[in-house]
Amino acid sequence: MKPARALRSAPRSKTTMGLGPLLKGAEIGGVPVLPIGLAVGAAGLAYRTLDLPARRYNREQNTVGKEYDAWTTDGVLEHYWGEHIHLGYYTEEEMQKGYKKKDFIQAKYDFIDRMMEFSGLEDLEKPPAKVLDVGCGIGGTSRYLAKKLGDASLVTGITLSPEQVKRATALAEERGLSNAKFQVTDALAMDFPDNSFDMVWACESGEHMPDKKKYIEEMARVLKPGGVMVVATWCQRDDGEKPFSKSDLKRLDYLYAEWTHPHFISIEAYRRLMEGTGVLDKVHTEDWWKETIASWRHSIWVGVYDPWPVVKRPYTWYKTLRDGICLDRFHRSFDDGLMGYGMFRARKSTVGANPEDCTK
C-alpha cells in the first residue's frame, strides 16, 4: 500500500487539471459560462427547496399548536390579519371595483357577519346562552360574537395553542369583555359534557383535524338539541366522478403539508359526515370560493404595501417568503376548482331528547 502522502501527491489527469481554467475562460456570446451555470444551479436548488412542503402535520408533536404559537409570538400575522385568522368576504360589486380597494381586515368582519346570517341563528327564540368557538385563534371572532350577542351569552373559545389562549384572554380583558373565555382543548377530545352549548361555531378549524368524522361528531355531541351548528372550512373538490391526477395530488400534498394540515375532504364528504351523525337535521351546504378567493392575494399585497414588520425581523424572512408562495398556490387552487370554500349549517334534532337538555 502506498503511503497517504504518495496518494495525495499523485498527479492529476490532464482533463481534471484543465477543467477549472476551461470553465473560467469559456464564454457564450461574450458572456462567461461559469457564473451562469452557478446561477442556474442555485435557482434550481432554490426552486426545489421552496417546492417541497416544510411543515408536515404531526399530531403527537402538536405541530398545529406549535405553528400557531410561533405565529402568535412573532406578531407578524396579527399585524397584517388583525385579530381574525380566517379569510374575508368580498361582494361581487367589490370584486368588480377591485378587491385591493377594500380594507383587508374589514373583509374579515364582513365574513363573520355573513356567517352569522348563514348560520340560521335568527331561528332560535333568543340569543344562544352558551356558544362554543372551535379553533378560536387569538379570539377575534369569539370576542366579536360575545359583544354582538350581549352579556346574556357566554362564548368559549378553544385552541391547541397556549400562546393563542394567552393573547386571546389579554385582548378580552383589554376590551372589558367578561363573557368571552378561552382554553387549550383538543377539538377531537373535548371534556365538555353532552348537550352543553346552544351554538357551535367552527371557522377554518376543520383543515387541521386528522379525523374529520370525529371532528363533526364531537361538535354534534356537545351541541344541545335544537341548537345551531355552523362550519366554514377549506375543502378539496370531490373526486368521485373525476379522479385526481398526479399533478392534482402533488398540489394537494403541498397545500396539506406546508401549513401543517393532515388532509382536506370535499364539501360533499362533510355533508355525509353531518348527516351520518343521526342527530343533525336540516344540513345545508354552500361553496363560498368566489366570495373569499380575493383574500389570498390581498394578504400578499398588504405585506407589499407595508413591509416593515417583516423587514425588521430578519428571522421571519424565509418563513414569510414560503408563506407568500403558499398563499398564491392556494389562490390558484381555488381559482381552478381544485379547492372550494365549504359552508355548512345544521340543527340538532330534538326528537327523543330530554326537554331539560334542549336549547331554551
- For the stretch 71-98, pLDDT in tens is 899 898 899 999 999 999 999 999 999 9
pTM of the model: 0.87
pLDDT (0 to 100) of residue 71: 86
pLDDT (0 to 100) of residue 275: 98
Using a pLDDT cut of 90, give the percent of the chain over it. Answer: 79
pLDDT (0 to 100) of residue 128: 96
Picking from 341, 338, 304, the residue whose alpha carbon sits closest to that of residue 324 is: 304
Across the chain, mean pLDDT equals 90
Angle in degrees, CA 142, 147, 151, rounded to 5: 105
Cα 126 to the center of its chain, rounded Å: 32
Quick: pLDDT tens for 143-163.
Answer: 999 999 999 999 999 999 999
Picking from 305, 284, 299, 285, the residue whose alpha carbon sits closest to that of residue 331 is: 299
**Residue 176 three-state SS:** coil
- Residue 263, pLDDT > 70, answer yes
Residue 228 neighbours by CB distance under 10 Å: 25
Region 25-33 average pLDDT: 60
Give, rounded to a whole angstrom, the gap between the first and last alpha carbons of the chain.
92
Any idea which residue has 377531537 for its cell? 188
Confidence class for position 4, pLDDT limits 50, 70, 90:
very low
